[in-house]
Chain A
Amino acid sequence: MTHKKRRRLMVLLLAGLGLGTATALTLTAFQDNIVFFFSPSDVLANRPAGERAFRLGGLVEAGSVERGTGTDGRPAATFRVTDGAQAITVTYTGVLPDLFREGQGVVTLGRLLPDNTFRASEVLARHDETYMPPEVADALRRAGHWNPAQGAAPPAETWNTAPRDGRSGG
């Protein structure tokens, strides 16, 4: 490598180092603005000021979903969003996404009322990163390895090579 080329390489490396550091510092500084939602623990520990709208995310607590009809005739639902440590009651009027169920991740947009319930104007479903055929999911449930209402699937290595004829791999 000639002297000129080595110098170009050094300039590129230095510029890359500077740019990388600047980006890392910026992203760290804006950490709170980059997160898409807050967990119930975040919200209860650090209550947003006033009636500010924000997103609350977590899992729909098992056994907490009550469906009804709102005053305007639209479907309404009350459920609790939990992160394992804390839970917040959410009220919502409108159509819930198809994936909504107990144990499913959700992200809700709305305001925290003075009585610590959250009135949501939007509910989005947030599915996890596991993909499995229905037969394998059924087998895991029948074998008692997994109750989807309680949260995440068991470790992937116990089922991701399970045969699809209904026998559990776990």
Chain B
Amino acid sequence: MDGRLTAGTGATDATRPGARSLHRFANPGRFLRATGRLMPFLWAAAVLVLGFGLVWGLVLSPADWQQGETVRIMYVHVPMAWLAMGGYTGLAVLSVMSLIWRHPLADLTARELSPVGAAATALCLATGSLWGKPMWGTWWVWDARLTSVLVLFFLWLGHAALVRAFDDAERGARAGAILALVGIVNVPIVKFSVDWWNTLHQPASVTRLNAPGMHVDILYPLLVCALGFSLLFGAVVLARTRAAVMERRVRALQLARARREDAVA
């Protein structure tokens, strides 16, 4: 895999129609150059949008008529919940790319994505607990929504641990991809748990078929916060993937030098 990542040129892919579009980004040099230009803009957009959204949500937006100021926990809790589920769906897409097309960058991105996804899910659970105590009267209950999100958290942690548990990185990536795809059944369960069963957690407010059950003065700052957190999430994952690619290049260069020195000696 080291060899493929460092020596892949993309030129061989161009001769294979159909594979070209995906494998163009398997060229690590091209990936580093393209994302290197993107990163400053991504970080700037994340900081600006998130800063604006958090000030709007945490300070300027109105309180809720029955929940009061406690409702502001939502501006962190809901984006984290969306990122936990959306990020996991992304992990499943990367796993399909890894298993079918053996795309090496998909393996690397999945490996760097899962700790960030686990952190988002942990924040979702922690803020939910902090919100549940004053509103529901309990830190935690074993209803379908809360339990399925806890399972999602364990799936993230399991993936992060499994891909790092093999000496052969490619075998780890394969095992992790299978785990991620088995775990994808949990994503619709998380999403629809509040509709399929009665739960202590209330149903969705924003993504329901009729109008959002949320006043625009609360909805708009929430959407800006969600966009800001998503940009930050993307920037962190991309920065980690870039660092992983560079780490592999350094290791490959060190190996090559060691081999040269062996040959000389």
Residues of chain A touching chain B, judged by Cβ–Cβ distance below 8 Å, are 1, 5, 8-9, 12, 15-16, 19-20, 23, 27, 31, 34-37, 39, 57, 97-99, 107, 123-138, 148, 153, 155-157, 159-162, 164
Annotate B11-34 by CB proximity to A: 1 below 8 A, 0 otherwise. Answer: 000000010000000000000000
Cα of A157 to Cα of B208 in the assembled complex, Å: 12
Q: Which residues of B contact A (CB under 8 A)?
A: 18, 62-67, 71, 74, 96, 99-101, 134-138, 141-144, 181-182, 185, 189, 196-200, 202-205, 208, 210-219
Taking CB atoms, residues of chain B closer than 8 Å to A9 are: 100
Residues of A within 8 A of B65 (CB): 132-134, 136-138
- Residue pair A133, B62 in contact (C-beta under 8 Å): yes
**Secondary structure of the A contact surface, majority rule:** mixed
- B202 closest partner in A (C-beta): A129
Closest A residue to B136 by beta carbon equals A124
Q: Given the known A-B contacts A8-B100, A131-B215, A133-B62, are A125 and B210 also in contact in the complex, defined by CB atoms under 8 Å?
A: no
Q: Once the chains are docked, how many angstroms separate the CA of A124 from the CA of B96? A: 42
- 15 other A-B residue contacts (CB within 8 Å) besides A36-B143, A137-B65: A9-B100, A12-B100, A36-B144, A37-B198, A37-B200, A39-B198, A98-B137, A127-B66, A127-B135, A131-B74, A136-B65, A137-B66, A138-B65, A153-B213, A156-B210
Contacts of A137 in B (CB 8 A): 65-66
Residues from chain A with Cβ under 8 Å of B136 in the complex: 97, 99, 124-127
Can you name the residue of chain B whose Cβ is closest to the Cβ of A107? B200
Beta-carbon contact of A157 and B210 below 8 Å: yes
Give bound CA distance, A97 to B216, whole Å: 28
Whole-angstrom CA separation of A123 from B138 in the bound complex: 10
In the bound assembly, the distance between CA atoms of A31 and B212 in angstroms comes to 28
User: Can you show 27 pairs from A to B with CB atoms below 8 A apart?
Assistant: A12-B99, A15-B181, A19-B185, A27-B196, A31-B197, A34-B196, A36-B144, A36-B200, A37-B200, A57-B198, A97-B136, A98-B137, A124-B136, A124-B200, A126-B200, A127-B66, A131-B218, A132-B64, A132-B218, A133-B62, A133-B215, A134-B62, A134-B63, A156-B210, A160-B211, A161-B215, A161-B216
Please indicate the chain B residues that have their CB under 8 angstroms from the CB of A162 in the complex: 215
